[in-house]
Amino acid sequence: MELQVQFGLRVKELRLKIGISQEALAYKAGIDRTYMTGVENGKRNVSAKNMDKIIRALELPVPEFFNSQIFK
């Protein structure tokens, strides 16, 4: 599985776990909602800068974000 797909799956998993909408997460991360949709669907090649914004918006340390079976 490609990294962009794995990243999107993890974002969606965590977003649903904390119970917020795509729109709310996008706003919190300072990115467009349509971009967030593309990220979650694995359609966007996410820059390191935007990865950082999204992970911070999820309020997780980076190592914890990537510590998932999705990335193994």
Residue 26: CATH number of its domain: 1.10.260.40
How many domains is the chain built from? 1
Q: List C-alpha distances in Å: 21 to 2, 67, 69, 72.
A: 24, 23, 23, 27
Neighbours of 61 (CB within 10 A): 10
Return the pLDDT at 72: 78
Residue ranges making up the domain that contains 9:
3-71
Average pLDDT over every residue of 22-50: 97
Instruction: Convert the pLDDT of each residue in 47-66 to its tens digit.
Output: 999 999 999 999 999 999 99
Confidence (pTM): 0.91
**What would the two tokens of residue 58 be?**
């999820």
Confidence of residue 70 (pLDDT cuts 50, 70, 90): confident
Averaged pLDDT of the chain: 95
